[in-house]
Structure 1
Amino acid sequence: MLRSKFAAVAAVLAVSSLTAACVSAPAPKSYAALRSEQPKSVLVVPALNSTVNVDAADYFVSTISRPVAERGYYVFPAHMVKRVLEDEGLSDAGLIHQADASRLAPLFGCDTVLFVEIKRWESQYVIISTSTNVEFGYTLKSCRTGAVLWEGTQALAYSPQASNSGNPLADLLVQAIVSAVEKAKPNYIPLTQQANLLATHTVGQGLPAGPYLPTYGADRNQFPD
């Protein structure tokens, strides 16, 4: 079981590397606004699900807190955030995303709010090939002014491939089975974890080190103003 999990992650990393090699490097971001705020905490509100998969937002919430916390920021517990928002009559993600981030500060005492839109969450099956696709848009806003401090997007795709045994007919059959399994139970979680990791950790594109990392304030070469 453990080996299979590592294999899945390795496959996703391979896909990511392949995609990165084919796409030109994105323009570097400016982190002046984010550094001027010097935020210590991030409030992650429920994701806005713009897909037809009704379960996407519930699955996504379990994947986002850790990568943000690993960048050195305090992340409010997801279930606590959801409960407080519901108590305040903000159970609809669409309404939350339309609200001014500064209005959430009195409820949580947060420095920033991370809004995430789920743009793609699908598994496409074509003949004997299955492709699982995810795409997310990230927007970090100030709880003090409501201004955008950081934005990012991340899209990943995963297509399981059977090993080549040298027997074309057998390989075709195995590939059909592998694709059917992926279609029946898509690997959304590992793919989403990798997307969030790339979005928050990529040098020059993700989040600079927060106050709970020893590199705080010392990574301006990697995350310039």
Structure 2
Amino acid sequence: MRLIRSLRTLALLALAGSLAACAPMAKRSDYTAFRADQPRSIVVVPVVNRSVDVDAPDYFLSTIARPVAERGYYVFPVHLTKRLMEDEGLSDADLVHNNDPAVIARMFGADAVMYVRIERWDSKYMVLQTTTTVEMDYTLKSGKDGKTLWSRHQQLAYTPNNSGGGGLAGLIGAAIAAAVEKAKPNYVPLAQQANASAVGLVGVGLPAGPYDPKFKADNAEF
């Protein structure tokens, strides 16, 4: 079973990667404000959840720190950040998102604040086929003056492939694959791929940060 789960996860990541590769090129972002601010550290605040899955924010938080850190930024521990904000009476994500970014940044000594809103985190069954979708909005704001430094919208979907061929066997295979995905959607690998694409795609992601060897050397790409 462990091997099957591992193969399933690898297949999901591969398919998500191919979806990202086939997507149309996004319009190049404006990095004027970002370059002027030059953030070094980022605090990710509690996620606003617009999906129907109440567990989506906690699952998502487990996927966001690594890709941002790999771009060369110090990322404050996300779950510790959430706990500290709850201790300060900031447990409501909507209230946090409406608060002054400079106030939040000062709480942690951060240069910038990242806000994420989950729009979709669901798995839908239609005619022997289940499609799992994650959709997020990302916004990075300056900890100095609250100015928006970077924003991105990202959506990825996964539909299991049925390799059982045609006929009755194919229908049975499709039904089983759809049922497995519907019963236990594998959101985390899909969210990981969505985050990696959101922050890492040339021209629309985050430029290399101060802890990346490409810092300031990738200006032509961003």
Question: TM-score under structure 1 normalisation?
Answer: 0.93
Which secondary structure state, in structure 2, belongs to the residue aligned with residue 117 of structure 1?
strand
Counterparts of 1:174 and 1:50, CA distance in 2: 33
- What is the count of residue pairs matched by the alignment? 221
After TM superposition, list the pairs within 5 Å mapping 1:4-153 onto structure 2.
Answer: 4-5=5-6, 7-18=8-19, 20-21=21-22, 23-153=23-153
Rate the CA distance shift 1:66–1:19 in 2: closer, same or farther, 3 A: closer
Larger CA deviation: 5-14 vs 147-156: 5-14
Counterparts of 1:146 and 1:136, CA distance in 2: 21
Counterparts of 1:2 and 1:173, CA distance in 2: 22
Following superposition, the deviation at residue 17 of structure 1 comes to 2.7
Which secondary structure state, in structure 1, belongs to the residue aligned with residue 27 of structure 2?
coil
Counterparts of 1:70 and 1:2, CA distance in 2: 28
Following superposition, the deviation at residue 53 of structure 1 comes to 1.1
Counterparts of 1:10 and 1:83, CA distance in 2: 34
C-alpha contact 2:40 2:74 (8 A) present in aligned 1: yes
Following superposition, the deviation at residue 9 of structure 1 comes to 3.5
Which secondary structure state, in structure 1, belongs to the residue aligned with residue 35 of structure 2?
helix
Rate the CA distance shift 1:221–1:7 in 2: closer, same or farther, 3 A: farther
Counterparts of 2:7 and 2:218, CA distance in 1: 30
Following superposition, the deviation at residue 51 of structure 1 comes to 1.2
- Tell me if 1:155 matches 2:155: yes
Which secondary structure state, in structure 1, belongs to the residue aligned with residue 96 of structure 2?
helix
Moved segments of 4+, more than 2 Å: 1-21
Counterparts of 1:203 and 1:153, CA distance in 2: 15
Question: TM-score under structure 2 normalisation?
Answer: 0.94
Percent identical pairs in the alignment equals 52
Which secondary structure state, in structure 2, belongs to the residue aligned with residue 136 of structure 1?
strand
Counterparts of 1:173 and 1:143, CA distance in 2: 54
Following superposition, the deviation at residue 78 of structure 1 comes to 1.2
Counterparts of 1:86 and 1:124, CA distance in 2: 33
